Amino acid sequence: MYNYILSITAVFIGALLVFIFKTSNQKSLKLLLAFSGAFLLAITIFDLLPEVFEDNLFAKRTGVWIMIGILLQKVLEYFSKGAEHGHIHLHEETRRIPKLLFISLGLHAILEGFPIHHTEGILLGIIIHKIPIAMILTTFLLNTQIKKSVIIISLTLFALMTPLGTFISENFTMIQNYYKEITALVIGIFLHVSTTILFESNEGHKFNITKLMVILIATVTAYII
């Protein structure tokens, strides 16, 4: 049960930080995003990858599912405007919740919920990832003409998506029978999102020692956990 509660709480923490403090420190938010990306990448490499390849007689097929996950995330990004890694572009005069954005984010969130109860550390990785994403999403929505009540409802539905994925993976036998394939798909999604956060071209290609230290701390923390 705590898996459900914590993944929901992560979204509300991010949203509340924006509602309470109104504005967010962009530099701190970028560092938090970098930490979340590095932690998610490290957990994927340290825990999820060994899990799907251990005693695997169909390793190449598993690799295909990972590539499908990477490509799927690329498609989802087209509709989500890159919200999974901190980039959302909505017009201030927008008055309705962009459906494609939330469908894309919802599908991403459902899939990332599948391996939570199987793999130690992945829940923490998702929580750390969701807080800055929720902050960015809330900030952009508040800057539109969308009613606050609609924003709150939308964020609540978004918060429920990851627990929904966990519930499906725990209670549907058909999903359990294809756990390794689905997890490989999720690995591809995580690899795409985390590496995009860490290595996309920004800041004029300047060397950022603070960001590097944050990444190293996140990696070491993920290894210890």
Contact between 40 and 128 under an 8 Å Cβ cutoff? The reply is yes
- C-alpha 6, offset from chain centre: 14
pTM more than 0.75? yes
Residue extents of the structural domains in the chain: 2-224
CA distances from 135 to 10, 177, 221 (A): 10, 36, 23
Pick from 96, 82, 91, 100: which is nearest to 143 by CA? 91
CA distance 128 to 48: 17
144 token code pair: 């539109």
pLDDT tens for each residue of 96-126: 777 888 888 889 999 988 888 776 678 888 8
The total of other beta-carbon atoms located within 10 Å of residue 19's CB is: 16
Amino acid at 56: N
Tokens 């295909």, residue located:
64
3-state secondary structure of 183: helix
CA distance 36 to 215: 9
CA distance 160 to 46: 27
Contact between 112 and 61 under an 8 Å Cβ cutoff? The reply is no
DSSP single-letter state for residue 92: T
Contact between 198 and 37 under an 8 Å Cβ cutoff? The reply is yes
For residue 72, the surrounding DSSP H or E stretch is helix 59-80
pLDDT in tens, the chain (225 residues): 767 888 899 999 989 988 887 655 667 778 888 898 999 999 999 989 998 898 888 889 999 999 999 999 999 888 776 676 666 655 666 777 778 888 888 899 999 888 887 766 788 888 888 888 888 888 888 888 888 898 899 999 999 999 999 999 888 888 888 888 999 999 999 999 999 888 864 555 566 788 889 999 999 998 987
b/e per residue 75-89 (b: at least 16 CB within 10 A): ebbebbbbbbbbbbe
pLDDT tens for each residue of 138-159: 888 888 888 889 889 999 999 9
